[in-house]
Amino acid sequence: MRVLIFHGYLLRGTGSNVYNASLAQALARLGHEVHLLCQDREAAELPWIDAVGNWDGGSLSVEGDAGSGSSITAYVPDIGGLLPVYVADSYEGFETKTFAELSDEELDRYLEANVSAVRDVEDRIGGSDAALSNHLVMGPLILARAGVRFAAKVHGSALSYTVIPNPRFLPHACEGMEAAEAVLVGSRHTAESLWETVDVDGLREKTRLGPPGVDIEAFSPLPSGRQPRAELEALANAVEGAGEGDEFGRVAADAVPALRAYAEAEGPRVIFVGKLIVSKGVDLLLAAWPLVVAANPGARLLVIGFGEYRSGLERLWSALASGDLDDAHEVARLGWALEGGDEAPLRYLEAFLADLPADYEEATGLAAGTVDLAGRLEYGEVSHAVRSSDAMVVPSTFPEAFGMVAAEAAGAGALPVCAHHSGLAEVAHALSEALDPDLAGLTTFDLGAGSVAEIAADLNQWLALPDDRRGPAEAALVEVVRSRWSWEGVARSVLAASSGELDQLHDVPSG
């Protein structure tokens, strides 16, 4: 089958980028011919891309040899250098604006360029047999206006960060949802938010469960005899060898020393993977970390990710580690202002700082020098760090469509400790069912005044388990991921959704 996918962003990193890169490869492994529209100008460097299409001279030209069947061609439409995003961020080679910041003229140019590009690709391949749009806006609308029959995948960011707070985009969302044969969501939470926001007849009836998948080969436990230290040292050497300046924006000067310090940990290793933005709740993990180190001497925390809030997190950790609790209070008070938004406090962090546990200041001193920020890493590189970790914390304070990083951690045998809400809670619940009753609660913590203490307590209980209990628990987590989430299964569901075969898809779980 000829399968067309409209993504519109990069093919590496996190979230929907990983989803589309992994989906395209799974479809090719199943024998399909994949045509993927993106904005990754370095797509040709990816080993799984067979050919690349561009509009450099105003008309579509393709370089490479994709052949027919079991191939992937990436197309990079000419959008004039302005890339609309859901959350403010910078991308090398682009001017970025959030959708809310776009003028009507800028939005129209973006839409027209992509609709024209989709039509060019359809003409070139003789029409697609199946198609998928990504994001509530603007992918579905683009395929609808291009006259393509398609399914839509709602990831969550466009819904939460663009359409809900900006009713200006509701008509665009409605136009796309009306045209979709089926709508895939990662969780019940996302479905309910979509139904409440977008008033389209029949939308509820054609919404089906379509979570992302896990690369169960990459995110798997370390082979027998392979030690985490060796795995991490090899990763640090590979990153150092790759050097600086790639399109993805990895900074080896940050990543290499962070990975080497993590490798040298004399105690357990805990990891965070995600965007460094306020809504990811990394402040809660940093505040909890001294309580973890106090109970686990030699423990280290590795933070992988990028974003506008990095400097705010560095300031918070510097304040905590040096015992400057006045400045920690100031970081909590400023909150969202340190990401570039309006001043709004971090109320869960404030609540913790207002009522510190006994000996907390002593614990912060012990934890000094145990946190490393690696910055951006490639998706494949992240898997080596995750499989070398004992646990992961996913402390998002904002709804998540699906707990992708939590599922990946579990696939590698690392316990994910997740905020108990939205798609994270659904993933965490599936994992908890496989654990012994006294361990089942470790996969989640409640958002509130007790969040920081609960994160620390969950981690400490897990890290204190003897080998004869940790081993079986880790194996149980791995089995859940392998049985419930794989990319080939996701690929088959996308094909069924594109044809409107709703009876072949899983219903959204009941509330």
State the burial class of residue 468 (Cβ atoms within 10 Å of its Cβ: 0-12, 13-18, 19+): exposed
Q: Do domains 2-213+486-504 and 228-484 have the same CATH topology?
A: yes
Q: Tell me if 89 sits within 8 A of 96, measured CB to CB.
A: yes
Q: Which fold has domain 2-213+486-504?
A: Rossmann fold (3.40.50)
Query: How is the beta sheet containing 2-6 ordered, strand by strand?
Result: 61-64, 51-54, 71-76, 33-37, 2-6, 130-134, 151-154, 183-185, 207-209
User: Which pair of tokens denotes residue 404?
Assistant: 């992708």
Per-residue pLDDT in tens (0 to 9) along the chain, 511 residues: 999 999 999 998 778 998 999 999 999 999 999 999 999 999 999 999 999 999 998 999 999 988 778 999 999 999 999 999 998 888 888 999 999 999 999 999 999 999 999 999 999 999 999 999 999 999 999 999 999 999 999 998 899 999 999 999 999 999 999 999 999 998 888 999 999 999 999 999 999 999 888 989 999 999 999 999 999 999 999 999 987 644 456 799 999 999 999 999 999 999 999 999 999 999 999 999 999 999 999 999 999 999 999 999 999 999 999 999 999 999 999 999 999 989 999 999 999 999 999 999 999 999 999 999 999 998 889 999 999 999 999 999 998 878 889 999 999 999 999 999 988 998 999 999 999 999 999 999 999 999 999 999 999 999 999 999 999 999 999 999 988 888 988 999 999 999 999 999 989 987 6
| pLDDT value for 245 | 47
Residue 16 is inside which H or E element, if any?
A: helix 15-29
Helix, strand, coil % in the chain, rounded to nearest 5 = 50, 15, 35
Closest by CA to 309, choosing from 267, 278, 273, 274, is: 278
pLDDT for the residue 249: 65
CATH architecture of 228-484: 3-Layer(aba) Sandwich (3.40)
CA–CA distance, 77 with 40 (Å, rounded to integer): 10
The domain segmentation of the chain, as residue ranges, is 2-213+486-504, 228-484
pLDDT for res 511: 64
Query: In angstroms, rounded to a whole number, what is the distance separating the alpha carbons of residues 135 and 154?
Result: 5
Instruction: Decide if 363 contacts 241 (C-beta within 8 A).
Output: no
The DSSP code sequence of 483-506 is HH--HHHHHHHHHHHHTT-GGGSB
Q: Which amino acid would we find at residue 289? A: W
pLDDT on residue 66: 83
